[in-house]
Structure 1
Amino acid sequence: MAVKISKKIAFVLFGLVSMYVIYAFISGVLLFQFAEPNKGSHTVEDSQQFYSDELSKDRIVLLEDRYESGLARIHLMENASDSIDVSFYTWHDGLSSDIFFSTIVDAADRGVDVRLLMDGIFHHLRGDLKEIMYAFSYHPNIEIKFYEPFDALRPWTWNNRLHDKLMIVDNERAMVGGRNIGDKYFAPEGYKGASNDRDLVVLDTDMRNNHDSVLKEMEDYFDYIWVHDFSEHPTNERFGPNDREAREGLATLRERHQELQELHSDMFNQDVDWLDKSFPANKVSFIHNPIDRLNKEPLVWKGLASMAEGASKSVLIQSPYVIPTENMMEHIHLDEVTSKEVSILTNSLSATSNVLAYSGYSRVREDIVDSGLEIYEFQGPSESLHGKTFVFDDRVSAVGSFNVDPRSTFLSTEVMVVVDSEEFAEALTNNMEDYMKHHSLKVAQDGTYKEHAYVQEEEVSLGKSGLTWGLSLVTRYFLYLI
C-alpha cells in the first residue's frame, strides 16, 4: 500500500514538474520568437541628430587600458562628494570587487548617497557575497535594487536583463562602457584570461547650466529605471538574523578597505587631471533601449543603423559577438549603407570566452563576408575582446554596452554614448586598428584566414571546437535569444 502511494506521489510530482517545464519553455523561450517588438512613442531620427557644428561643453575621456580603467573607478568614487549612482550587469569575486565594494562603503561613510542597481539574476551576490548585500542594505547612505529579480511564476521575465554598465558621480562625471566588475576586466599586462574592454568618461565642464549636458539625460535615465516597477529592493534585508550579519559585513568591508589601501597604495588617492585627459566634442548624445518586457523596440540598434546609413566613407565596428539576425536586419536599409569600407573586429573561436554566442556567429560568419563586409578576428588566445564600439566616417563614435546580437537589440537594457569628435574617433580607430593589424586575422570568403606576415592562427582544443559545433546545431533555432 505504501509503495503504491509513493508511486502515485512520484507520478504526480513528475507530472507537475513536466507541466512546469513545458510552461516555462513556451512562455520563457518560444514566446519570444513570435512576440512583436513593443512600439512606443519613441522615435529615431536620421543620423544628423548626432552631429553639431558647435563645440559642446561636455568633454570625453577614453579609458582603454584595463588597469587604468580600474584606477579611474576608484578615483571617481574617492572624490565623490554628494552622490554615486551605479548600474551593473554582474560582479565576480576577487580583488577588483573587494576594492569596489569597500570603496563604496568608504564613500557612504563620508556622507555620499549611493544607489546600486544590479541585474536581478546575474548579480552574483549570493553565497559568500550575500553578506555584502546585507551590509549595503543596512548602511543608511546606500540603497540597493535589483532589476527583474528571478520570478519562477513568470518565465517571460527571465530574458529581459539589465546589461547597462553606468556610473554617475555628483551629476558631474559619468562612466559608460562594457566592463563588468571582476579581475579579468582590470588586470595588468600578462593576466591569463583577461578581457579587453573600453570605457569613456563624460565630463560636464560647466555645472552652472547642467541642462545643456548629456549628463542630465543619463541621470534621468537612471532615475527612470530606479523607480520603475521592474526594479525592486532585496527582500528581508533589514530585519531578523541578517542585522548582525549586516553589521559584521560593514565592519569587514571597512577593515578590508584600510588593508587594501596599505597593500595597494599606488591604486588609491591618485592625482588625476580629467580635463587634461579629455577630448573636445561637438556633441555628446545618449541612447538607450526602452524599459519593456518581451521584445523591445530596438532603439539603440535603430540609432546605430541610422549612423551606418548616413556614413559615406567608413564604418568600423567592434563587438565581442556578432549575430545579425533577419529581425535585426529589418531595421537597417542595406541599400542606403554606401560606405566604401565596413570592417568588423570580433573574437575568434580561440579567443572567445562565450562559445554559446560564437556558435550563433559561426552560422552567419561566411554570409557576412559574402555581403562585402570585412571581418577581423582577434586571435587571443590568453585574452579576449569585450569592447562595444562603432566609428562612422572617422568622426562620430559610439561606446557602451551594446553587442551586435539579438539579445542586446531586443531583450536587454543597453546604453551607448555617441560622440561627435574627430579627435576622439581618431583615438578609438587607432586602438581598434592596432588589434586588427597586429593581433587579428582577416576572414576569407571560404571561412579560412588570409595569410598574415606575423600573426598566426591560434589552435583551438578539440573539446572547444566540438562543443561549439554541437551548440550550433541547437542555437540555430534560438538565435533570437543569444
Structure 2
Amino acid sequence: MKKILKRTGKIFCLFLLIVVLVNVLSPLFCRKPDEKYVESLRKTEFTSETAGVERICCIDDNEEALLWRLRMIGTAKESIVLSTFDLRADDNGTKILAALNCAAARGVKIQLLIDGIYQQLFLAGSNDFQALASYENVEVGVYNPVTPVNLFKVNYRMHDKYLIVDEKMYLLGGRNSNDIFLGNQTKGINEDRDILVYDTSEGQGESLNQLEDYFHKIWKESCVSIKKGKQSSRYTDAYRHMEEIYISLLKRYNDIETYSAWEKDTIEANKITLINNGIEAGRKTPQVLQTIQYLTENADHVIIQTPYVICNGYMYDVLQGISDHAKLQIVLNAVEKGSNPWGCTDYLNQKKKILETGADVYELMNDYPVHTKAVLINDRLSVVGSYNLDMRSTYLDTELMLVIDSEKLSQQIHETESDYMEKSKEVLANGQETEGAKYQGKVLNRKKKLYYGVLRIIIRPLRQLL
C-alpha cells in the first residue's frame, strides 16, 4: 500500500511539473505579426469627415462608472450582456449583481460572460451570484473554466470588459466590476476609463454591431462553458438581500430606472471602430499592437497610457518605429505608486531598453494608481479599452479597444494626460530627469527595496506571463 501511495505521489508531482512547464514555456513561443491582418487594416476606414450615428461619453470617475452601469441596467427592457474579467461579490460588485437581479426579475434576458479563473476564485462561493444565475432568463458563460482538461491552457484569459443593453448602447473600457474600480471608495482603488457609446439610429451603429458580432462569436467558442438557470427556493435569502441593496441604490441614485438623457449627455464622434486580439483560448497574433502600429504610421505625436510596460523584442521594435518619426510619450505608474508589483519590477529590469526606443517616459505619481489603457494619435484619434502594453495582453489574452475619431474626446483625454504628466517624473533616454509641477516624490523604504530586489530575480524567466 505504501509503495502504491508513493508511486501515485510521484506520478502526481510529475504531472504537476509538466503542467507548470507547459504553462510557463508555451507562451515563450510568440506568434509573429499577421501580414494578412495588416492588409485588412489598410482596407479599413478609421476616420470620417462627418459625424456618425454613435455618440460617446468618457467616464474616468469610479462613482460615475458605477452610476452609468446602474442606469444602463436599470433602464434595460429586453436584453443585457455583461462580459467581465473580474466580477466580485464585494460591496460594489454586489450592487451590480443586485441591479441585474432586478432586471432578471422583470423578465430581461441576461447573458453573463466571465473569465474562468476569476469566476472560480471570486464567484463560485457567492450565494448572490448563484441566485442571479438561477433565473431561467439568465445564462452564464465561463471562458476557459478551471477544469482538469484545461490545466494546460490556464494562461489564456478573457480580459474583455463591456456591457451591452437592448442592442442600443454599450460601455467598454478597462474597468473590472469590483470595489477597486467602482463606487466611492477611497482606499485600495485604481483609476480607469470607460467609453459609453449610444446609438442614435435604429441599429446602424457600426461599432455596436461589431461588438455584438464579437460577443456572439466568443459566446459560441468551444472554450466557453454555458450554464442556464433553474430557480430554487434555497436562494430566497439571497434574492431578499439583493432586493434590499437595490432599494438602497434607488434612494441614493434616484434616476437609475428613469434616466433618458443619453443623447444630451454624450458628444458626437465621427467614427468608432472596434479592434480585438482574437477570441480563442490559445496563443494570439498581436493584432491590437499591429493596429496601433498601423494607425501611428503617419503620426507626429503619440501618447501611450498604460499601467506598466512589459515588452519583448517585437514590441520594442514597434515603439522604436513610432519614435523614429513621431514624438512618443509613455505615461505609466511610478514604481513607488503602482499597484501591480510584477509590472513595477519588470520596469526596474527593463527601464534602459524602454528608454532606448526613443520614448519619453513619465513615471506617474498620481493619488491612486492608474489602470487606464489608451493611445492618443495626433489630436484626433483615441484608442481606448483593455489592452495593456505587455506580453500577456499582446499574445495570451482576449482584448478589446475602440478606435475613436473625435477631436472633442481627444482634447478631453489630452487634458487628463497633461495633468498626469505634471504629476510625473519625465525620464529621457540620455538619463535626464525632470519633475513635473505637481510631482510629489516618494522614497521606497528598505523593506520595499528588498521586496523588489528579490522579485527582480524571480520574474526574469516569467515575464511572458505577467
Tell me, yes or no, whether TM beats 0.5: yes
**Cα deviation code 1:129-152 (max 9, x no counterpart):** 432332122112211110000133
- For residues 394 and 124 of structure 2, what CA distance do their matches in structure 1 show? 34
Gap change, CA 1:335 and 1:436, over 3 Å in 2: closer
Structure 1 residue 412 and structure 2 residue 397: aligned? Answer: yes
Gap change, CA 1:39 and 1:366, over 3 Å in 2: closer
Residue among 102, 127, 135 paired with 2:98: 102
Gap change, CA 1:41 and 1:443, over 3 Å in 2: closer
Does structure 2 retain, via aligned residues, the 8 Å contact 1:102–1:257? yes
Deviation at 1:453, TM superposition (A): 4.3
- For residues 127 and 104 of structure 1, what CA distance do their matches in structure 2 show? 15
- For residues 358 and 368 of structure 1, what CA distance do their matches in structure 2 show? 13
Deviation at 1:432, TM superposition (A): 1.5
Structure 1 residue 323 and structure 2 residue 323: aligned? Answer: no
Does structure 1 retain, via aligned residues, the 8 Å contact 2:330–2:360? yes
- For residues 474 and 267 of structure 1, what CA distance do their matches in structure 2 show? 50
Does structure 2 retain, via aligned residues, the 8 Å contact 1:40–1:297? no
Matching residue's letter, 1:457: G
Deviation at 1:363, TM superposition (A): 1.8
SS of 1:273's equivalent in the other structure is: coil
Deviation at 1:336, TM superposition (A): 6.1
Matches within 5 A, 1:292-441: 292-311=280-299, 313-329=300-316, 332=318, 334-335=320-321, 338-380=324-366, 383-437=368-422, 439-441=423-425
Residue among 228, 244, 264 paired with 1:255: 244
Aligned to 2:188: 193
Does structure 2 retain, via aligned residues, the 8 Å contact 1:96–1:182? yes
Structure 1 residue 219 and structure 2 residue 203: aligned? Answer: no
SS of 1:428's equivalent in the other structure is: helix
Residue among 214, 221, 228 paired with 1:228: 221
Aligned to 2:264: 276
Count, aligned residues: 465
Gap change, CA 1:453 and 1:265, over 3 Å in 2: closer
- For residues 320 and 430 of structure 2, what CA distance do their matches in structure 1 show? 23
Deviation at 1:268, TM superposition (A): 4.1
Does structure 2 retain, via aligned residues, the 8 Å contact 1:59–1:203? yes
Gap change, CA 1:55 and 1:225, over 3 Å in 2: same
Aligned to 1:148: 144
Structure 1 residue 176 and structure 2 residue 169: aligned? Answer: no
Gap change, CA 1:103 and 1:420, over 3 Å in 2: same
Deviation at 1:337, TM superposition (A): 5.0
Q: Structure 1 residues 9-18 or 293-302, which shifts more? A: 9-18
Does structure 1 retain, via aligned residues, the 8 Å contact 2:330–2:362? yes
Gap change, CA 1:39 and 1:23, over 3 Å in 2: farther
Structure 1 runs not aligned, ≥5 long = none
Does structure 2 retain, via aligned residues, the 8 Å contact 1:137–1:144? yes
Gap change, CA 1:119 and 1:128, over 3 Å in 2: closer
Query: Among the aligned pairs, what percent are the same residue?
Result: 27
Structure 1 residue 34 and structure 2 residue 29: aligned? Answer: yes
Aligned to 1:21: 16
Structure 1 residue 206 and structure 2 residue 194: aligned? Answer: no
Structure 1 residue 90 and structure 2 residue 78: aligned? Answer: no
Matches within 5 A, 1:110-189: 110-123=106-119, 126=122, 129-188=125-184
Deviation at 1:247, TM superposition (A): 4.1
- For residues 180 and 360 of structure 1, what CA distance do their matches in structure 2 show? 23
Gap change, CA 1:470 and 1:449, over 3 Å in 2: farther
Q: Structure 1 residues 74-83 or 31-40, which shifts more? A: 31-40
Does structure 2 retain, via aligned residues, the 8 Å contact 1:37–1:294? no
SS of 1:276's equivalent in the other structure is: coil
Matching residue's letter, 1:249: A
Matching residue's letter, 1:172: K
**Cα deviation code 1:273-308 (max 9, x no counterpart):** 222232212211000111223321111111111112
SS of 1:17's equivalent in the other structure is: helix
Deviation at 1:371, TM superposition (A): 2.5
Matching residue's letter, 1:256: I
Q: TM-score scaled to structure 1, two decimals?
A: 0.89
Deviation at 1:54, TM superposition (A): 2.9
Deviation at 1:441, TM superposition (A): 1.6
Gap change, CA 1:34 and 1:125, over 3 Å in 2: closer
Gap change, CA 1:310 and 1:246, over 3 Å in 2: farther
What's the C-alpha RMSD, in Å, of the aligned pairs? 2.6
Gap change, CA 1:99 and 1:333, over 3 Å in 2: closer
Q: TM-score scaled to structure 2, two decimals?
A: 0.92
- For residues 194 and 212 of structure 1, what CA distance do their matches in structure 2 show? 33
Gap change, CA 1:49 and 1:478, over 3 Å in 2: farther
Does structure 2 retain, via aligned residues, the 8 Å contact 1:151–1:158? no
Aligned to 2:439: 455
Q: Structure 1 residues 392-401 or 333-342, which shifts more? A: 333-342
Gap change, CA 1:352 and 1:173, over 3 Å in 2: same
Gap change, CA 1:455 and 1:337, over 3 Å in 2: closer
Gap change, CA 1:13 and 1:301, over 3 Å in 2: same
Deviation at 1:373, TM superposition (A): 0.7
SS of 2:112's equivalent in the other structure is: strand
Structure 1 residue 57 and structure 2 residue 53: aligned? Answer: yes
**Cα deviation code 1:317-355 (max 9, x no counterpart):** 10112112114346x384465544211111011211110
Does structure 1 retain, via aligned residues, the 8 Å contact 2:379–2:411? yes
Q: Structure 1 residues 135-144 or 114-123, which shifts more? A: 135-144
